Amino acid sequence: MVTFASELYERQGIKGDRRRQIVQVLQAALDAVDPAAAVKRFAQRDGGALIVDGHTYDLTTIENIYVVGGGKADAPMAQAIEELLGDRISDGTLNVKYDHLLPTERITLREAGHPIPDDEGVAGSQRIADLLEQAGENDLVLCLISGGGSALMTLPVEGVTLDDMQTLTNALLRAGANIVEINTIRKHLDQLKGGKLARLAAPARVVSLILSDVVGNPLDSIASGPTVPDTTTFDDAWGLLRRYDLLGKIPESIETYLRQGVDGEIEDNPGEGSPVFERTQNVIVASNDLAAEAGQQAAAELRLNTLFLSTYVEGEAREVGKVFAAIGKEILASGRPIGRPACVIAGGETTVTLRGEGKGGRNQEMALAAALAVQGIDDVAVVCLATDGTDGPTDASGALAEGDTIARGRELGMDPWEYLEDNNSYPYFASLDDLLMTGPTHTNVNDLTFVFVW
Amino acid sequence: MVTFASELYERQGIKGDRRRQIVQVLQAALDAVDPAAAVKRFAQRDGGALIVDGHTYDLTTIENIYVVGGGKADAPMAQAIEELLGDRISDGTLNVKYDHLLPTERITLREAGHPIPDDEGVAGSQRIADLLEQAGENDLVLCLISGGGSALMTLPVEGVTLDDMQTLTNALLRAGANIVEINTIRKHLDQLKGGKLARLAAPARVVSLILSDVVGNPLDSIASGPTVPDTTTFDDAWGLLRRYDLLGKIPESIETYLRQGVDGEIEDNPGEGSPVFERTQNVIVASNDLAAEAGQQAAAELRLNTLFLSTYVEGEAREVGKVFAAIGKEILASGRPIGRPACVIAGGETTVTLRGEGKGGRNQEMALAAALAVQGIDDVAVVCLATDGTDGPTDASGALAEGDTIARGRELGMDPWEYLEDNNSYPYFASLDDLLMTGPTHTNVNDLTFVFVW
């Protein structure tokens, strides 16, 4: 449940009304991406058939259904699948993050390390691989994927250890490689990533239900794309090592393996056009844009004019916050791009460059910057929400910035610039009772930003 | 004339067509804020009457017309006024920046220092004050104001020198005061700022034609608001000195003068409701939103769907650029908020935190960041333009970012991150022939950003 930190929004008058509107819009957005609800929206049982996003699987002709996967939101997804398929599930094994277990009956949930992979994760991933090897032509593999799946489903290739992988990653980071480049190499050193989970499952049919935590929903990036074609090759991976001058400086096991790949001794990852994917269906069941759309619909039901701006928002939180404030100011000044009462909806994931020692998160920091930019302007609110309910290392999911946020802070003796410089947005909004509190939502589709102009 | 640095946009095929569209939109935006055209749009002669934005001034009952003012765009504004009123102008004196003279007949243009005020500016401002003293009830004072007017029209109060003012400003900056706070104090130490030009002109009628270079067009900020009510007081100014602990640490002349103001020995600046403004008409003749609207109209004529996003855009250029890229990506992916072919129009003024030793400007830097964010994505262009034609200390007015900007740069051996880190966007785009070149436009309504998605 979305609430403000205090009862403030329950107070009388226009301010209370507006806060209730905000809560309603945020709650609708979060409800839309609840992992279990998301699975059930895209996968339904129709008697003897399983219908997934328009595709019908005749369960009477399917021998075994296996459920595999990994990710932070996998436990509620698994529960939804058990509710749907019950004893038609032959076997299942999923890796979830420590302390993310929920009760299941036929699917085994294994706790594993995240964000740093650990041996538990490798053991669970080996069990997934073993299960996939069993799957035959008349079987159906349901793959449940959510954020964190890349770390949780880690299964290095023969001869390469977790330590080797960590050494490689550190070397690449030091050399300045970006995440796409790092993943290009890692996808060639893992038995499940880069489409290889689907290849292991073949000739079984594969249905992958994906809860996206990556801006723009690039299928090959979410959990390193275990069921989608890989667009990169051993040559690409080798080229990157050469480019960053890391040959001879990384674990020999890795160099040996990739060298064999380049020499054609090991089959490359299945790419676009590989027959593996002819029997694979990938469905994004929840994503930032689904949440944003639900928020937009809720705002429209409140008779607000709405504008769906973008779900690709990235950048330094404090700077991005200024742009959202600028949009609110224009609506107020000129009724452009939409008239009042208005709600502008956006999503994505910003970053925070740490400068201080304070406590906060990217959404709270964005809100503080927005508050500075809308200072003294009535009727505008910028609301910043982490959909997982945990914005940075805090128990808040975001914050609300309004025209009087800075003045109310000053009354309490708070200099907003000092708090911003110190990355200390949490205590700032906590003092004002303007933190958004949801508790952990068990989902994660990045962040949402709403600009309300009444 | 807007052109690209090279003949590139004249080439055949779709790329040339698109560049011609860009040029057409930018040119329309700039034409709309040409200072002379802007004056003529809002001030017309109808026989014996002068009509300014709907208000009619019967010239047959007006004895003298005096023209005063200051700003970087004042020379073409003065020419337009001379064209309109000719020998009805009794006298006129304006301060313009060095090397910004144009031939005039009845209005004297004086060159003065900008951005640091100098004695020439003070002498010219004294001449303005003297002229205003002459103006009587049946006279009309035309005040021409444009960007830079605050420095160019500097006339410290009795006993305070330019050096004192500079010392004060430096002390305030060191103490962490922001520009609004600095201006609050400066407006109380100058004979023209903060509505006092209008007060000097009383009982004459005043028409102020304002070319706005401040985001959001706050009348009291443009050239420090010589003809608009001041919302600040001597008490505010004194309170700021106290808050920043500067009492006893700034020139004695300043402290003495402000102390007299606080004690009521000197009349405070004319505020809202002062009778001075009953006979004053302030008209913004050119501004960022007028330019943006003209660009929007030109885009619509090219059959592009348009969205007028905001003219309040502020923030670090490289981060703001990512947000514009995000909007382009959403249009491409989902047709939201508008369908293709699309043009999103925005304006404002970003900032650049200097990190390197390179050559560039805020618009070019924003374009480079946008290019990184739309890397590999066809059919999107982010165009960033400084309307004064001079983006940073360069001869370019901005740059164009497209999906192949980064790839084309890499072909020439340029690492875009290196150029960005070094604030070196000018040579980057120069190498690609993707700089926008207009030459000095003699106007300044901040910056414009256009996102094209074809």
* Residue spans per domain, chain B: 3-32+289-453, 35-155+190-232+269-286
Q: Report which of B77, B71, B118, B93 is spatially closest to residue B213, judged by C-alpha positions.
A: B71
Residues of chain A contacting residue B327, judged by C-beta atoms under 8 Å apart: 309-310, 312
Contacts of B265 (CB under 8 A, 6+ apart): none
Q: Above 80 in pLDDT, residue A9?
A: no
Taking only the tens place, the pLDDT of each residue in B164-181 is 999 999 999 888 888 888
Quote the DSSP letter at residue B190. Answer: B
Q: Above 70 in pLDDT, residue B8?
A: no
Residue type for B421, please? E
Q: Report which of B106, B108, B102 is spatially closest to residue B69, judged by C-alpha positions.
A: B108
Do the Cβ atoms of B322 and A315 come within 8 Å?
yes
**Hey, which CATH number is domain A3-32+289-453, 2.40.160.10, 3.40.50.800, 3.90.209.20, 3.40.1480.10?**
3.40.1480.10
**Using omega within 30 degrees of 0 as the cis cutoff, is the peptide bond preceding B229 cis?**
no
Give the Cα separation of A293 and B345 in Å (integer): 24
Do the Cβ atoms of A337 and B289 come within 8 Å?
no
Do the Cβ atoms of B325 and A312 come within 8 Å?
yes
Helix (H) or strand (E) holding B68: strand B65-70
Q: Is A178 helix (H, G, I), strand (E, B) or coil?
A: coil
Taking only the tens place, the pLDDT of each residue in B315-367 is 999 999 999 999 999 999 999 999 999 999 999 999 999 889 999 999 999 99
- Judge whether B3-32+289-453 and B35-155+190-232+269-286 match in fold: no
What distance lies between CA A145 and its chain's CA centroid?
10
Contact B224, B187 (CB under 8 A): yes
Q: For residue A450, what pLDDT band results from cuts at 50, 70 and 90?
A: very high
**Hey, which CATH number is domain B35-155+190-232+269-286, 3.40.50.12280, 3.20.20.120, 3.40.50.2000, 3.40.50.10180?**
3.40.50.10180
Residues of chain B contacting residue A179, judged by C-beta atoms under 8 Å apart: none
Taking only the tens place, the pLDDT of each residue in A197-219 is 999 999 999 999 999 998 999 99
Q: Report which of B306, B277, B283 is spatially closest to residue B196, judged by C-alpha positions.
A: B277
Looking at the DSSP assignment, which residues form a beta bridge with residue B402?
B381
Q: For residue B15, what pLDDT band results from cuts at 50, 70 and 90?
A: confident
Residues of chain B contacting residue A320, judged by C-beta atoms under 8 Å apart: 315, 319, 322-323
Q: Is A340 helix (H, G, I), strand (E, B) or coil?
A: coil
Taking only the tens place, the pLDDT of each residue in A11-42 is 567 888 899 999 999 999 999 999 999 999 99
Considering the entire predicted model, what is its pTM? Answer: 0.89
How many residue pairs from chains A and B have C-beta atoms closer than 8 A?
Answer: 83
Q: Report which of B403, B404, B394, B402 is spatially closest to residue B430, judged by C-alpha positions.
A: B394
Residues of chain B contacting residue A326, judged by C-beta atoms under 8 Å apart: 310, 312-314, 346, 348
Taking only the tens place, the pLDDT of each residue in B41-92 is 999 999 899 999 999 999 999 999 999 999 999 999 999 999 999 999 999 9
- Tracing tokens 């079987």 back to the chain, one arrives at A139
Across chain A, what does the average pLDDT equal? 94
Q: Which of A322, A337, A348 sits opposite B307 (nearest CB)?
A: A337
Taking only the tens place, the pLDDT of each residue in B180-230 is 889 999 999 999 999 999 999 999 999 999 999 988 999 998 999 999 999
Taking only the tens place, the pLDDT of each residue in A258-268 is 999 999 999 99
Q: Above 60 in pLDDT, residue A228?
A: yes
Any idea what the Cα angle at residue B313 is, between residues B308 and B316, rounded to 5°? 140
Quote the DSSP letter at residue A249. Answer: S
Q: What are the backbone dihedrals phi and psi of residue A435, each rounded to the nearest 5 degrees, phi first?
A: -75, 145
Burial of B367 (C-beta count, 10 Å sphere; 0-12/13-18/19+): buried
Taking only the tens place, the pLDDT of each residue in A294-349 is 999 999 999 999 999 999 999 999 999 999 999 999 999 999 999 999 999 999 99
Residues of chain A contacting residue B311, judged by C-beta atoms under 8 Å apart: 330
Contacts of A412 (CB under 8 A, 6+ apart): A431, A432
Give the Cα separation of A152 and A145 in Å (integer): 10
Give the Cα separation of A133 and A136 in Å (integer): 8
Q: Kind of pairing, strands B43-46 and B49-52?
A: antiparallel
What is the ipTM for the molecules in this complex?
Answer: 0.88
Calculate how close chain A gets to B172, using CA atoms only, in Å: 16
The proportion of chain A whose per-residue pLDDT surpasses 90, expressed as a percent, equals 88
Residue of A nearest to B347 (CA): A326
Q: What pLDDT was estimated at residue B6?
A: 53
Identify how many contiguous H helices and E strands chain A contains and give both numbers.
16, 16
Residue of B nearest to A369 (CA): B315
Taking only the tens place, the pLDDT of each residue in B296-328 is 999 999 999 999 999 999 999 999 999 999 999
Do the Cβ atoms of B308 and A337 come within 8 Å?
yes
Contact A226, A198 (CB under 8 A): yes
What residues of A are in the B interface, CB distance below 8 Å?
216, 289, 307-316, 319-320, 322-323, 325-327, 329-330, 333-334, 336-337, 348, 373
Q: What pLDDT was estimated at residue B439?
A: 87
Q: Which of B216, B307, B313 sits opposite A323 (nearest CB)?
A: B313
The proportion of chain B whose per-residue pLDDT surpasses 70, expressed as a percent, equals 98
Give the Cα separation of A398 and A380 in Å (integer): 17
Q: Which of A323, A374, A415, A418 best probes binding to B when mutated, by most B CB atoms within 10 angstroms?
A: A323
Q: Above 90 in pLDDT, residue A89?
A: yes
Residues of chain A contacting residue B310, judged by C-beta atoms under 8 Å apart: 323, 326-327, 329-330, 336
Q: For residue A251, what pLDDT band results from cuts at 50, 70 and 90?
A: very high
Q: Which of A319, A329, A368 best probes binding to B when mutated, by most B CB atoms within 10 angstroms?
A: A319
Q: What pLDDT was estimated at residue B5?
A: 57
Do the Cβ atoms of A315 and B311 come within 8 Å?
no
Q: Which of B307, B310, B338, B353 best probes binding to A when mutated, by most A CB atoms within 10 angstroms?
A: B310
Q: Above 80 in pLDDT, residue A173?
A: yes
The proportion of chain A whose per-residue pLDDT surpasses 70, expressed as a percent, equals 98
Residues of chain A contacting residue B308, judged by C-beta atoms under 8 Å apart: 330, 336-337
